[in-house]
Amino acid sequence: MAEPGRSLIDLRDDIDRIDAAIHDQLMQRAALVEEIARAKGGSGAILRPGREAKIIRRLMARHRGSFPKPALARIWREIISASISLQGPFTVALCETDLEGPLGALARAHFGTVAPLSGQRTEGAVVQAVMEGRATAALLPLPGGSDGEPWWRFLAHPQESTPRVIARLPFFGPALSPDREALVLAQAPQEASGDDCSLLLLETGEELSRAALSKRLDQAGLRRRPQGIWDDTAGRHLHLVEVEGFVEAGDPRLRRLALADDGLFLQRHVVGAFAQPLQASPGDAQGEDEREETA
């Protein structure tokens, strides 16, 4: 807290000292990241979505004062993304030839200004770029009920190179319309953040209504999210389902679903999980001290 009556010169000198200390800490952090990269020896995932979510949540929970939370989150996203780039090549693919479009803006907000963006003409090409290692991560729009051939059908036959959903964007910010949100795909291990949603891809041998599918999920103990079922209308009976919690391949609820389906389900795959996004309130943009003054 600044002492009353201090001169502008003294106050600005203190800011310069704080800036230098922040810069020193950033350089020390970068050195530690490089040490981690050497310890990995070129192996291991450079994306840790669960840990990244925990970092942002922890900062939001401990934050005090007038500095806006959205700005704090953006700063740390830049720090995290710059640290990722120190561990190896990093490119983000998206289905936009105009990299300044909505998906490009989301990519920049999450992966920072240093991450190269690769525009692809089709959603299939975006998924293929990650499968072939030409992109580290990819942004794809949220599934929509009118999708004729949805991009998530490419996840229907999981293999080692098949990417998984690892994040939903934006992670911190005001609630947005679905056309301004995206899912992130990557070949990264799934890890729980403590407050997660999971995505299941289910194939049925016959047409199944959403109500009937919801009932089967409830019976197995899998609670679907509101508006969390998307259907493939391209001929196969594929369903992408968003459920609450962190679900892995060996989850007993998936086994219960298998036991109760009477052969109805031809496929049951976990195709991703992501940390539940934090919703910013209008006051977060003001900062705590300003909110107190205007209350």
The phi, psi pair for 206, rounded to 5°, reads -145, 165
Mean pLDDT of the region 215-232 = 87
Is the pLDDT higher at 4 or at 69? 69
The tokens describing 213, both together, are: 């599918």
This prediction's pTM? 0.86
- Residue 288's pLDDT band, with cuts at 50, 70 and 90, is low
Q: Which of 171, 108, 101, 164 is nearest to 137 (CA)?
A: 164
- Residue 295's pLDDT band, with cuts at 50, 70 and 90, is very low
Give per-residue pLDDT as tens, 159-190. 888 999 999 999 987 656 666 889 999 998 88
Mean pLDDT of the region 209-220 = 89
Cα–Cα dist 272/167, whole Å = 9
Q: What's the longest Cα–Cα distance across the chain?
A: 78
Can you tell me whether residue 167 is helix, strand or coil?
strand
Contacts 24+ apart (CB under 8 A), 102-110: 102/179, 102/180, 103/139, 103/141, 103/182, 106/139, 106/169, 106/170, 106/180, 106/181, 106/182, 107/139, 109/74, 109/77, 109/169, 109/170, 110/77, 110/81, 110/167, 110/169, 110/170, 110/171, 110/184
In order of their start, the domains of the chain are 18-40+48-147+160-189 (no CATH), 191-276 (3.30.70.260)
CA distances from 42 to 10, 82, 175 (A): 47, 17, 38
Q: Where do the H-state alpha helices sit in 241-287?
A: 252-260
User: Number of C-alpha atoms within 13 angstroms, CB side, residue 285?
Assistant: 6
H/E run at residue 203: strand 196-204
Give per-residue pLDDT as tens, 76-98. 999 999 999 888 888 999 988 77
Give per-residue pLDDT as tens, 109-150. 999 998 999 999 899 999 999 999 999 999 999 887 445 578
